Amino acid sequence: MLIFRYLSKEILQVMTAVSIALLLITMSSRFVKYLAQAAAGDLATDVLFSIMLFRIPGFLELIIPLALFIGILLAYGRLYVESEMVVLSACGISNKRLLGYTMVVAGFVAVLVAALSFYVSPTGAAKVHSIFNDPKTYGQVNTLVEGRFQSSDGGKRVTYAESIDSEATEMNNIFISESTRDSGSSAISVVVADRGEIVRKQGNRYLQLEDGYRFSGQPGQRVLEVTRFSAYGQLLQEPQDLARKQLKVEARPTSELLGSDDRHDRAALMWRISLPLLVPVVALIALSLSRTDHRRGRYVKLLPAIMIYLAYLLLLSAARSGLEDPQSSFPLSIWAIHALFLALGLTLFNSEAIGTFLRTRVFDKKVAQHAATE
């Protein structure tokens, strides 16, 4: 039990440090992306930290298996380099017993990843999805500052509101100018209105203006179209990036995915199941690749190990895409991928025994041939 606690502490310490580092890197990258959307007027600034907070479980479910993988490689690599593994082997700690200790830690991590994948991450994704579906969350009109002209869409759109209520949904004395270019000719439309508010109808967001005028025409032309309106609705374009499209599926509870026949739902369910299954398999591979000595160093197999991990994860992602797309020309079974890398891990773990067996067979065959010739 003392040795198990010592080995577990070594693995978990490195895993925690790697998890924190990877989480900070991932959050920084995603925060920069959201910040750019906020600067472009596609996202309200007051929801940035809420989005990042609710996205943390989704980041962790991918980061923790990689952190465990690196933790086993580095922790056991250090023990091999400093000859502590030799001492443990002399004290009766066999490779199978070491595997058992490692699988206990991997089982604990797998349970943690399963909780994140099945429950915590979908809950966080649902919160983010509700934020994105809130009419007050994003769009140029939501980032307006009262009493100031603001441009967006590369300067093609200029918006002004004299006053905005505290909820940022109702505005007074509104000015909107938009320029378009079609077939070499340009056109400008200007809308002024006394009042305006953001509404959502049939899944789309509209800026509904009241009591105003719309002026449209082409620069240099004497023709100017003037329209007076009591109510005028303008469709607001929403960001359509791939991550936001997938967020709706990611936000669905696991219980709903279990009874669904939709291809995207089945693919999402298989992905959630795959993440906990990934943990013991990569732990086995990391244990096998951590064997080294003081001459080669603890980092000698880090690069090939990372390549194996990335291949595993990318194949799982490709299999998920194949499940989602019925026309995919790259159909893969998620279970076959897990079986393939499990077989790889078992082969690496028993590589010494396999090598000894093959050398013995070859040696025995040569001895028999030599005896026959004599």
Q: Give the model confidence (pLDDT) of 303-313 as tens digits.
A: 889 999 999 99
Q: Where are the alpha helices (DSSP H) in 224-298?
A: 242-250, 254-258, 263-289
C-alpha neighbours within 13 Å on the C-beta side of residue 133:
13
Rounded Cα–Cα distance for residues 315 and 338 (Å): 10
pLDDT at 359: 66
69 has a pLDDT exceeding 70: yes
CA-based nearest residue to 139, from 116, 162, 164, 168: 168
Q: What are phi and psi of 331, to 5 degrees?
A: -75, 130
161-208: per-residue pLDDT in tens?
A: 888 776 656 788 888 888 877 666 778 888 888 888 877 776 666 778
Rounded Cα–Cα distance for residues 339 and 167 (Å): 54
Rounded Cα–Cα distance for residues 270 and 264 (Å): 10
Rounded Cα–Cα distance for residues 158 and 166 (Å): 22
CA pseudo-torsion sign 37, 40, 43, 48? positive
The mean per-residue pLDDT over the stretch 130-148 comes to 62
Average pLDDT, rounded, for the chain? 80
Residues 43 and 37 sit within 8 Å (Cβ to Cβ) = yes
- Enter the tokens of residue 343: 């077989």
Residues 136 and 198 sit within 8 Å (Cβ to Cβ) = yes
- Enter the tokens of residue 125: 């994704």
147 has a pLDDT exceeding 80: no
CA-based nearest residue to 249, from 233, 266, 234, 261: 266
To the question of pTM greater than 0.75 for the whole model, the response is no
317-330: per-residue pLDDT in tens?
A: 888 888 877 665 45
Rounded Cα–Cα distance for residues 342 and 281 (Å): 6
Q: Which helix (H) or strand (E) holds 235?
A: strand 224-235
The mean per-residue pLDDT over the stretch 150-160 comes to 72
CA pseudo-torsion sign 53, 59, 65, 69? negative
Residues 78 and 14 sit within 8 Å (Cβ to Cβ) = no
237-275: per-residue pLDDT in tens?
A: 555 444 455 567 888 888 888 888 888 888 888 899 999
**Which residues make beta-bridge pairs with 177?**
158, 190
Q: Decide: helix, strand or coil at residue 109.
A: helix
346-356: per-residue pLDDT in tens?
A: 998 887 766 66
